[in-house]
Amino acid sequence: MQEQHAERRIDQFFSGPGARADDWRELVNAARAWKDGTQDRARFEGLLADIAATEEFHAYPGSRLMTELRERAASGDATGTLALVMRLTQALQTRSFRQHTSDWDVHGESEGEIPDLLPPALGHTGARRPYFEVLIVTGVPSTSWAGLAAEWRRLRRPVDSFIYEPVFVGSAEDAFCAAMLNPDLAAVIINEGFQYRSRHNAPVLRELTASIQSKETDSPLTLAQTLKRVRPELDLYLMSNQRVEELAGRPETSVLRRIFYSVEELLELHLSVLEGVQDRYETPFFDNLKKYAQRPIGTFHALPIARGKSVFKSDWIRDMGEFYGPNLFLAESSATTGGLDSLLEPTGNIKKAQEKAARAFGADQVFFVTNGTSTSNKMAVQALLAQGDIAIVDRNCHKSHHYGMVLAGAQPLYVEAFPMTEYSMYGAVPLRTIKQALLNLRAEGRLDRVKMVDLTNCTFDGHIYNTRRVMEECLAIKPDLIFLWDEAWFGFARFSPFLRPRTAMGAANDIEAWMREPSSAQAYDRQRAELGENPSDEVLLKTRLIPDPRKIRLRVYQTNSTHKSMSAIRQGSMLFVKDVEFHTVEAQFREAVFTHASTSPNQQLIASLDVARRQMELEGYGLVANAIEIAFAIRKAVAANPLISKYFSVLGADKMVPAEFRGSGFTDFLADGVNWGQVLRSLHDDEFCLDPTRITLVCGTAAYDGTQFKGLLASRYGIQVNKTSRNSVLLQSNINNTRSDVAHLIRVLAEIAGEIEHDLSQGGVNAVKAFDARVRSLMTDVPDLPNFSRFHDSFRADAGEKTNEGDIRSGFYSAYDAAGCEYIRLADAEIDRRLRNGPELVSANFVIPYPPGFPIMVPGQVITQEAIDFMRKLDVKEIHGYNAVQGLKLVRPEALARLGERRRPPAPRLRPADAAE
């Protein structure tokens, strides 16, 4: 690809395949302009040359049609060129080339006449066969690729379940590019003898490969490692002339699905490719559920709705049957027999489905959960924490964590995220804060009591942690810490090579690989020597700490709401485990499952988790790239439209992440002058990044508060947004969004901006004044966000001096003692008197306003002036745990005094493992 083209679009690689459609649209426009005489042929040919380089990485249109296009242009046939380029663009857009032979023909005719060109779409069963592409990396000259492709096509058999086209490349760099840009690839066959360097000059690509692969080599094993890092879901095959038995024994070959000796039958390879895709295609639970639904079964069981008889025979509820269709009822069962397996103790196809999900998401174990990540979090907290254990918790995390701590009797040590006061939201917790908490515990000799660090990645508003760095530095202070990463929103990130290293499982796998390298222990020893015997806290806080790879016990948990970012039915969630000590907590996990999981889990939900995994393994790469591309399109369109950008803006990293956490100097994905090197450095090094698919649109500058604007978009335009803050709404692009969605959103924003403009110009001075005042109130008169104050001393009997943990469970149950509680209204002067003169106000329950959705007060917390000020300023209607008529529920001072007397520190628990440091 030409340098200019490659540099033109910073987002091209990030959003990979998504940008391809734009290139073709542009090419159509250039052809039309040439035909209409408004532009010359050279411009069309220039664009075609640009596009041709990357089109080599796709099976369609392929070299025959691309050559035809070039020749038509060269012959001066503008009309014929336009016709062909339009036809190709349409075939790509509608993906009809997967079914129609005519799309592959230069004249667009001969349906069915060139059998070696196109896959017959229908298999022998008459069902449409899924289509994919296979990348073949080879050293043979490109002149023989067409012949080789024909050979591959001859292997097709009507009984094959899938159909695929080969794509050839001759170098490692091109193979890398193809893997990045072609989402249809499902397998790669690496033959020895290829070049390292691409025929094309691509500086962006060089920067990217250098970040993943340290040396330039034509080694097939190095290429395999690199491809696995970019697209772990791809099946990799190696064709070797060497002694394959020797090769097969080397550990690096573990990334390969199979090694073939070059002279072996091509048919074997063909069958292996199909089998590899079949393995991902299989959904053990869903497949069995479909079979179950087909069988005639008489039920003498609960669940009358099963088989639909109570529905379809009824005059009164038949419409439900008609609405959902019979399969829903045929697939309903309360049985765990008939191969349906039990979610509570899976031994059959649920177990298999979970194992496949573990492979797909890079975990050792997966639990399917049918009650949302709310339940996954509570399960993890209960299984991993015992009474009295301390957990370092982001105070802004989802309420399931707080409630989990109550249930477990664990003591949360709350840490604060950095505030974004202007937008009434929080960012994420700085690593320094977390390290400080650990060092304080250590100074007090209580490091053994802290068991877990519990954080949200990414946050609601899109802040992504540097998961690897957080874990490494914490492990340097306490090598057996457990990490619970709530990735409710971030499950999809596994399928972007850019985001994956910042997921919990991605980072855990990277740390595990790092631990195996001999240089890691040396790095640790070197740092230890440099830091000396007893480095001060200040030194430890400012140093990027290296853990001792010989001591680390890597224990990482990740929860994700599969339903929030993938094709699972609402409440479908997964809990991922990568824990070398899992055997020590396995029984506790079983208890946690028994505590929280319904004994009647929903079959459709489990099936959807299985299917969501299949989809992500087979097309997740392209879908996620598309979601990112859509997000960039929205960001670009808002910024570029003069009318929209007058009243609305999308916040970039420069606004969402304070500069101290952006060491790379990165400002925003689409800012002027930001280049690839910076994007990569930011993703690799910065303490926090932004998830591009989470788009904070500021609407306060258009005189709308978040809730108002959300209502307007929903009621007038049928657009649903994710969440709101005082002056913004959060838009989220998803694997289901299309370009049309973007167009609709932009049109709506333009319309709203137009109306504002109109009203201001017609309304005279007063309208302008009122508008300005409203904007000022929304944008500058924002309440300070209150930090967590502290637990009341009655709940801190066994707590330390320098840390703020407390017994939230006792705080929670103090609310159950009606006589020990009192209510005071927010407006009551009594509040101000007590704040001034005591006795202290202590909350009896959680108070959680939506938005912003974090607890202003937790049970047992001392209420401060800041919290009261915030509550009084808060203009939202939904505040969980607060009834405006009754007022704040407080624990009476007498009850606190009694609690304080009763409380004694719990007896130290004798667990030798706790002594580890």
Q: What does the binding site for ligand PLP look like in residue numbers (CB under 6 A)?
A: 372-374, 377, 398, 400, 456, 460, 486, 488-489, 561, 573
For ligand PLP, which is the closer residue by CB, 486 or 705? 486
CB of residue 494 vs ligand PLP: minimum separation in angstroms? 17
CB of residue 572 vs ligand PLP: minimum separation in angstroms? 8
CB of residue 465 vs ligand PLP: minimum separation in angstroms? 13
For ligand PLP, which is the closer residue by CB, 198 or 561? 561
CB of residue 454 vs ligand PLP: minimum separation in angstroms? 11
Which element (helix H / strand E) includes 296? none
CA 318 – CA 713 distance, rounded (Å): 35
CA 8 – CA 626 distance, rounded (Å): 19
For ligand PLP, which is the closer residue by CB, 284 or 491? 491
226, 213 in Cβ contact below 8 A?
A: yes
Cα separations in angstroms, 47 against 40, 203, 360: 12, 19, 38
Q: What b/e readout covers 221-237, taking b as 16+ CB neighbours within 10 angstroms?
A: bbbbbbbbbbbbbbbbb
For ligand PLP, which is the closer residue by CB, 178 or 417? 417
CB of residue 485 vs ligand PLP: minimum separation in angstroms? 10
CB of residue 652 vs ligand PLP: minimum separation in angstroms? 22
CB of residue 365 vs ligand PLP: minimum separation in angstroms? 19
CB of residue 403 vs ligand PLP: minimum separation in angstroms? 11
CB of residue 553 vs ligand PLP: minimum separation in angstroms? 26
Q: Which of 692, 676, 678 is nearest to 667 (CA)?
A: 678
Q: Which residue is nearest to ligand PLP (CB)?
A: 372
Residues 6+ apart with CB under 8 A from 215: 222
Output the CA angle 8-25-56, nearest 5 degrees.
70
For ligand PLP, which is the closer residue by CB, 226 or 377? 377
119, 131 in Cβ contact below 8 A?
A: yes
Q: Is 890 exposed, middle or buried (0-12, 13-18, 19+ CB in 10 A)?
A: buried
For ligand PLP, which is the closer residue by CB, 609 or 752? 609
683, 674 in Cβ contact below 8 A?
A: no
CB of residue 484 vs ligand PLP: minimum separation in angstroms? 11
CB of residue 247 vs ligand PLP: minimum separation in angstroms? 45
For ligand PLP, which is the closer residue by CB, 55 or 454? 454
Looking only at Cα atoms, what is the longest distance across the chain? Answer: 96
CB of residue 490 vs ligand PLP: minimum separation in angstroms? 9
Q: What SS3 string covers 505-540?
A: HHHHHHHHHHHHCHHHHHHHHHHHHHHCCCCCHHHH
CB of residue 590 vs ligand PLP: minimum separation in angstroms? 21
For ligand PLP, which is the closer residue by CB, 51 or 488? 488
* Token pair in block for residue 328: 């829903």
412 DSSP β-pair partners:
391
For ligand PLP, which is the closer residue by CB, 410 or 455? 455
For ligand PLP, which is the closer residue by CB, 92 or 366? 366
Q: Which of 193, 263, 182 is nearest to 223 (CA)?
A: 193
Q: Is 609 exposed, middle or buried (0-12, 13-18, 19+ CB in 10 A)?
A: buried
404, 393 in Cβ contact below 8 A?
A: no
CA 752 – CA 648 distance, rounded (Å): 10
458, 470 in Cβ contact below 8 A?
A: no
Q: What is the DSSP string of 768-795?
A: HHHHHHHHHHHHTSPPPPPPP--B-GGG
For ligand PLP, which is the closer residue by CB, 208 or 848? 848
Residue positions counted in the chain: 917
Q: Is 193 exposed, middle or buried (0-12, 13-18, 19+ CB in 10 A)?
A: middle
For ligand PLP, which is the closer residue by CB, 571 or 682? 571
For ligand PLP, which is the closer residue by CB, 561 or 814? 561
CB of residue 242 vs ligand PLP: minimum separation in angstroms? 50
Helix extents (H) in 339-408: 349-361, 372-384, 399-408
CA 299 – CA 79 distance, rounded (Å): 67
For ligand PLP, which is the closer residue by CB, 187 or 393? 393
HSE-CB of 447 using CA atoms within 13 angstroms: 21
For ligand PLP, which is the closer residue by CB, 283 or 573? 573
Q: Does the CA dihedral 583-588-591-597 come out positive or negative? A: negative
CA 844 – CA 823 distance, rounded (Å): 10
Output the CA angle 493-172-21, nearest 5 degrees.
55
CB of residue 570 vs ligand PLP: minimum separation in angstroms? 8
